[in-house]
Structure 1
Amino acid sequence: MKYVFVYGTLRPGQKYHHLIEKFVEKTIPAFVKGRLYHLREGYPALLLERDLSSSVEIVPVRGDLLGFTELDPVLPILDELEDYFGPRDPRNMYERVTTLAITSDQSAISSTVYVFSGEKLDWLERNAVPIPTGDWVLGNS
């Protein structure tokens, strides 16, 4: 099984989940460590712990691990939605990276996730609203 960690509009019941729903084989609640922001455009941005300075508060960012048999049919859909053009491409809104997501039984599962780069921290601090609970869905319901 291959996993994608989703934390906003791609989570089950949210605005864009329908785009990939038919490919999802399994859904597991999980979290990653980082900092979550709400953008004015109506969706979240995540910075992972590894991309943050020690002065930034790190929280468990809640989301779901979506399990897929294959990522080949899913990644093009996600790449388009997330404005991802390739590794470190200057046109990228998000970067596609691999990280460990932690499940309720403390299992660490390798997953793909779309994140903002640490280089965008200052911009996020000025233009987005931090979500201290780490749960975008609860913060926007």
Structure 2
Amino acid sequence: MTKSMKLFVYGSFCEGMVHYNRLEKFVKTKEPAKIKGKAYQLEVGYPVFLNEGEDWIEGQILTLEANEVLFQLLDEFHGFSPLKLERSLFWKIETTALMDNEQVERVMVYALNPAKLPKKAHLIVNGNWREALGQKPNFLHQLTEKQVNYIKKLGASSGRDIVPIDLDLYRELMKMELIVDKGRRLALTKLGKEVFKYLP
């Protein structure tokens, strides 16, 4: 059964960004808009939104039409569980967005659970995440194709899989703090998992 939702997106889910193509075929309309809150820049470069504060956070309202599976996948991607709110990475909340034509629209947005804000995240002054991203480009642009491919393999593997690596690549990824050596196998660090999540 098809369902419709107005979702306010920012950062990696905006048109032209890394995750937009995952939603594109379900987008019926898109409008520039902004909501009030705070934005923080993650180590990987992309922003997260907190539903507190008075900064204007720019983004887009996407009217999505899809079956329930897409909306469940979005919840899963954002680590949202309505049954375990306190443990959820993001909360899916209803709020108001101001469109460019000054019209107010009720929308859903994924707001970071404040208890889950990473220590290395930096407050984006005035909420202008596009400017912050321009000043500190996302971490993904620093990675070579070989590094990206390895992170994808390691991220897609189960916890018991051994993913072979050459010594130079091992040193590069260890220096970047993207992998950790668990003795018999390698695993992604917290930053490595974040990078994996934002890979196209």
The answer to whether TM tops 0.5 is yes
- Quote the Cα distance in structure 1 between the aligned partners of 2:20 and 2:28: 13
Name 2:25's counterpart in structure 1.
22
User: TM-score by structure 1 length?
Assistant: 0.80
Q: 1:44 aligns with which of 22, 47, 52?
A: 47
C-alpha separation between the residues in 2 aligned to 1:92 and 1:129?
21
1:32 and 1:87 mapped to 2: Cα distance?
26
SS of the residue corresponding to residue 74 of structure 1 reads: helix
Percent identity reads: 27
Q: Where is the helix percentage greater, Structure 1 or Structure 2?
A: 2
Aligned to 1:33: 36
CA drift of 1:70 comes to 4.8
- The letter of the residue matching 2:40 is Y
Matches of 1:105 and 1:71, distance apart in 2: 30
One-letter identity of the residue aligned with 1:109: E
Q: Which residue in 1 is equivalent to 2:94? A: 98
Describe the shift of the 1:131–1:87 C-alpha distance in structure 2 as closer, same or farther (beyond 3 A): farther
Partner of residue 114, structure 1: 110
Deviation at 1:104?
A: 1.0
Range 108-117 or range 27-36, more displaced? 108-117
Decide whether the 8 Å contact of 1:4 with 1:65 is kept in 2: yes
> Structure 2: which 5+ runs fail to align?
135-200
Contact 1:48–1:115, Cα closer than 8 Å, also in 2: yes
Q: Quick one: which amino acid aligns to residue 40 of structure 1?
A: E
SS in 2 for 1:19: helix
The aligned residue for residue 134 of structure 1 is 127
Could you tell me which amino acid in structure 1 is paired with residue 125 of structure 2? P
- Report the CA distance between 1:119 and its aligned residue: 4.5
| Conservation of the 8 A alpha-carbon contact between 2:97 and 2:106 | yes
For residues 71 and 132 of structure 1, do their structure 2 counterparts lie closer, same or farther at Cα, with a shift above 3 Å needed? Answer: farther
- Please say if 1:89 is aligned against 2:85: yes
2:131 is paired with a residue whose SS is helix
2:72 match: secondary structure = helix
How many corresponding residue pairs?
131
- TM-score, length basis structure 2: 0.58
Structure showing greater relative contact order (alpha-carbon pairs closer than 8 Å, 6 or more residues apart): 1
Secondary structure of 1:140's counterpart equals helix
Residue in 2 aligned with 1:55? none
Deviations 1:18-43 (A, max 9, x none): 11111001110000011100011333
Q: Given that residues 46 and 133 in structure 2 are in contact (C-alpha distance below 8 angstroms), is that contact kept between their aligned partners in structure 1? A: no
Kept in 2, the 8 Å contact 1:19–1:77? The answer is no
Shifted more, 39-48 versus 100-109: the winner is 39-48
Unaligned runs of 5+ in 1: 53-57
Q: CA RMSD in A?
A: 2.1
